[in-house]
Amino acid sequence: MSGWHHRHIIDLATFSRENYAAVLELAHRFRSLPMTGARKLPALQGRLVATLFFEPSTRTRSSFELAAKRLSADVQSFSPSSSALSKGESVLDTARTYVAMGADVLVVRHRSTGVPQQLSEDLEQAGERTVILNGGDGLHSHPSQGLLDLYTLARYFDPAHPLPESLQGKRIVIVGDILHSRVARSNLWALTACGAEVVLCGPPSLLPDAFAAFVDAPPPGQATDPVPNRGRIVIERSLERALPGADAVMTLRLQKERMGQQLLTDLERYYRDFGLNHQRLRLCERSVPVLHPGPVNRGIEMAGELLDDKSICLVEDQVRNGVPIRMALLYLMASAETPDMTPAAMA
Ligand code: CP
């Protein structure tokens, strides 16, 4: 894959438009392949993918495991509650244990920002070939979610050619708890890279003004931004101003477990001001899709009837698209390691 230089995938800040295109193209090919019964692709035969989730997950963990199995990898799950963590073993030593068992890829989720990055640096220093794929760390990054959201939107706007350019000039509204959301941060990098204007909407306690400049500085560790002419970020404090002209609306889970202070005292008021329902969406001027990374708090971020309305709500599409996106990431990481691996391996 020309232009693919990512060994570990920690966040999307360093992704170029070509990188997004490579992931979306490959995911689209994987999505169109029949995957029922015993039909698997041999691309990762003999490789071991271990999922080290130190924080709960339904979607990300299961879809990484399914993606790895569909590419014929061996898959090893780690369960914190029944592991030696309770005997005092550290996260780093836990990861090293899976490396010693021959893991080629560690998919890592942790409640603290920086753990996947730290593990990747440790593995590099030790000269290990194992690569780290970030399954979500603290408030920092959830790259595979950002990519599957991008793919879901690209498919909605251009079903035949779901590529980064389908987002050019679109107005995407992201509502809710931006402050505590690694999903929002990954979406900001991805959507602006593809030329979308992102409108952030939420109360000041969950959406500080500083988010307007989130993509303005070069990504950490980079002298320049790999993406020229990113789309801009706009902050609106009310849905009445944010929704008119929207092309899509994404709402986010209120992350009560990450709220150290009493940032939100009144959930009924939150729903009244920022909750989505059919009536509210009429402000958009036309029918627009609604996304949510899940898990959803029904009646808080959105009405249950909206979540269940498949004609508007793309939540199930997001989940479905998570598998081919994660197949694409695993495939690209393996092909970066084995340069002679060609798309023929997908046949
Ligand atoms: N969207 C997401 O990360 O969901 P899980 O916590 O279920 O993996």
Q: What 3-state DSSP class applies to 204? A: coil
Confidence of residue 208 (pLDDT cuts 50, 70, 90): very high
End-to-end, the C-alpha distance of the chain in Å comes to 16
User: Does the beta carbon of 62 lie inside 6 Å of ligand 1?
Assistant: no
**Nearest atom within ligand 1 for CA of residue 58:** 7
Confidence of residue 260 (pLDDT cuts 50, 70, 90): low
244 neighbors 285 (Cβ within 8 angstroms): yes
**Nearest atom within ligand 1 for CA of residue 62:** 8
CATH number for 17-141+319-346 (one of 3.40.50.1370, 3.40.50.920, 3.20.20.80, 3.40.50.360): it is 3.40.50.1370
With a cut of 50, say whether residue 344 has pLDDT above it. Answer: no
The string of pLDDT tens digits covering residues 93-144 is 999 999 999 999 999 999 999 999 999 999 999 999 999 999 999 999 999 9
Verdict on whether the full-model pTM lies above 0.85: yes
d(CA 333, CA 310): 34
Quick one: pLDDT at residue 257?
63
Give the Å distance between the CA of 314 and the centre of ligand 1.
Answer: 15
Ligand 1, atom 5, lies closest to the CA of 57
Q: What 3-state DSSP class applies to 94? A: helix
Helix (H) or strand (E) holding 26: helix 17-32
Domain ranges of the chain: 17-141+319-346, 145-318
Q: Is-same-fold flag (17-141+319-346; 145-318)?
A: yes
As its CATH architecture, domain 145-318 has 3-Layer(aba) Sandwich (3.40)
DSSP 211: G
Helix (H) or strand (E) holding 248: strand 248-251
Confidence of residue 219 (pLDDT cuts 50, 70, 90): confident
**Nearest atom within ligand 1 for CA of residue 55:** 6
